[in-house]
Amino acid sequence: MEKYVVGIDIGGQSTKLGIVDARGNILCQSVISSLQTRLDDFLDDLTRALEELIAKAGGKELIRGIGVGAPNGNYYKSSIEFAPNLKWGYDDSGNPMIIQLGKILSDRIGVPVAVTNDANAAAQGEMTYGVARGMKNFIMITLGTGVGSGIVINGQVLYGHDGFAGELGHTIAVRGGRPCNCGRVGCLETYTSAIGVARTAREFLANSEAPSLLRELDPERISSKDIYEAAEKGDALAVEIFEYTGKILGQSLADFVAFSAPEAIVLFGGLTKARKYIEEPILRHMNDNLLNIWKNKIRLEFSQLKDSDAAILGASALAWEL
Amino acid sequence: MEKYVVGIDIGGQSTKLGIVDARGNILCQSVISSLQTRLDDFLDDLTRALEELIAKAGGKELIRGIGVGAPNGNYYKSSIEFAPNLKWGYDDSGNPMIIQLGKILSDRIGVPVAVTNDANAAAQGEMTYGVARGMKNFIMITLGTGVGSGIVINGQVLYGHDGFAGELGHTIAVRGGRPCNCGRVGCLETYTSAIGVARTAREFLANSEAPSLLRELDPERISSKDIYEAAEKGDALAVEIFEYTGKILGQSLADFVAFSAPEAIVLFGGLTKARKYIEEPILRHMNDNLLNIWKNKIRLEFSQLKDSDAAILGASALAWEL
């Protein structure tokens, strides 16, 4: 009877939700704003949207559970903890709060709820519906505005002692390197996120005289999409930017392999659109930095899920485990 | 009835074995040479020593199983694979072999056998008899001639896809850093093993004019013990060597925490004798490099098992899981 799950992807701007079947088809979906300043307003909007969707799917008797992907989502506590980018995540004194989202939603809707962060949800999604089906040990790296990760060990997403395992975007790729939003320097995220790649472009443009189509753009507004488009037009500097990005990521991946010995690395996110420019450098630098026992043995996979669906699918995949 | 386990610790020079009860008491033990050049000779010596010990303990009916800690031990295959430091580990053409040690020993002795590497055995030992009792998520770092690691996730040693997970001694601590035996450069092992600390001493002595008791020694023969003894006599350069070692290790530990979010790091091995000089720098640099969610929350534990017993205990602990 319980043949569907619900996936909710909470972002800073908007929250997407959808009803998903066991094959990963999204039956129906909707979206609400995440810009409410009061938590209760957000929760009321979310509850209403959920009830509408569930009614459309045939009622809550058909729903196995709800999975939520959210910034700073804590799987063990089913909570969102101190998320800096959610407008309704602060208390009256302006301090970020712990929000017991799982309990609140399951009380309101009457089905079980699981909460985790976006990257862990993405890993669960790939394992349930994507390129990681059948894999027991892999590492998912999400290359978006930031860099997140979801680590799968023996078929289970790794949460660690406190629920926050898998912050590989904040391992140090370059000691003494670029300042990161987290307050430290040299984090992988500052080099291999969309924003990091744009920083690389500005550095390369400033530090060389090489001709480049990118010089026609306002350096402060260069995006990873601009760099991809320049590469497509044969721009050598743009290709070099992806080579450098692949080097930093490949080096870091080699260290991650030494930790958990996965069978594959799975990449997801905006930067993977530049696959033709980053795949080879990532693989080459990863293999150059691997111990002999792993050289040329670790597969590099790119997510095949549609960008627009992946977040809902990932969150929904959590609910099959409930 | 099966109230004992057997632990076997295979090293390049000698192999220790002992009978252990559930509380971690070693009832009796013995040692054989590992310097045989033919595999069959080593196996015959080991079988004889095992049979003697087991008879002394009351017969194999009392034995739950045998756990083996060995270089390049592969848990999944119960094998030793391509171990470079075992004289009897090479075939007639001089190539390192895969040795099905688990199957060979269980056929000969008639009890189940588990094989893993030394550091994973150490982690299992700490979890069963040591400071990690009751912990479900921790990272064991062994600081000996080399640097090994055993990673425990949800109460299980992490083996990964191929059985070789947890090679943290070969993550890159310093890009472009010191050459390592593994063929790469900058491995954590080249800085924080006993040999690495001696290399640091030679570098510090060569690169400064600071007075030091260590200048009285032949630089090529300085050991980590010499450095400890100099520190005990108030030698500032010796203290600085441990500070530097603690910095490199603390920085790396912060990245490991971002991977698996353990509740504690457990240190074992010769270098931990210098605890009074390395504990504070390790903790300070680890905390300086941790994301805010983990700052001052990850415990640093030092193994309390006796050096002479730890290897047998660690290997034996594997056998309780059989």
Question: What angle in degrees, to the nearest 10, is found between the helix axes of A236-260 and B236-260?
Answer: 90
Q: Report chain A's mean pLDDT, rounded to a whole number.
A: 95
pLDDT of residue B103: 97
Q: Which of B156, B159, B293 is closest, CB to CB, to A164?
A: B293
**What are the residues facing B7 on neighbouring strands?**
B18, B67
Among B196, B192, B190, B149, smallest CA distance to B168 is for B149
When scoring B252, B263, B266, B291 by the number of chain A Cβ atoms within 10 A, the one with the most, hence best to mutate, is B291
pLDDT of residue A165: 95
pLDDT of residue B322: 86
Q: CA of A287: which chain B residue's CA is closest?
A: B184
Q: CA of A83: which chain B residue's CA is closest?
A: B293
pLDDT of residue B224: 94
pLDDT of residue A305: 92
Query: Strands B14-21 and B26-33: what pairing?
Result: antiparallel
- Closest CA of chain B from A177, distance in Å: 12
Residue A294 sits at the chain B interface (C-beta within 8 Å) = yes
| Domains defined for chain B, CATH in brackets | 4-125+309-320 (3.30.420.40), 135-303 (3.30.420.40)
Distance CA B264, CA B152 (A): 10
The answer to whether the CB atoms of A167 and B291 lie below 8 A apart is yes
- Closest CA of chain B from A74, distance in Å: 12
Query: Strands B79-81 and B73-74: what pairing?
Result: antiparallel
Q: Which of A153, A161, A174 is closest, CB to CB, to B261?
A: A161
**pLDDT reading at A85 higher than 90:** no
When scoring A167, A248, A252, A295 by the number of chain B Cβ atoms within 10 A, the one with the most, hence best to mutate, is A167
pLDDT of residue B111: 96
pLDDT of residue B201: 98
Q: CA of B264: which chain A residue's CA is closest?
A: A161
- Closest CA of chain A from B316, distance in Å: 24
pLDDT of residue A92: 86
The answer to whether the CB atoms of A293 and B162 lie below 8 A apart is yes
Classify residue A24 by its DSSP letter.
S
The answer to whether the CB atoms of A175 and B251 lie below 8 A apart is yes
Q: Which of A158, A168, A256 is closest, CB to CB, to B153?
A: A158
- Closest CA of chain A from B317, distance in Å: 21
Among A277, A275, A266, smallest CA distance to A303 is for A266
- Closest CA of chain B from A311, distance in Å: 22
Distance CA A33, CA B310 (A): 58
- On the CB side of A6, CA atoms within 13 Å amount to 36
Q: Which pTM was predicted?
A: 0.94
Positions of chain B with pLDDT lower than 50, given as ranges: none
ipTM of the complex: 0.93
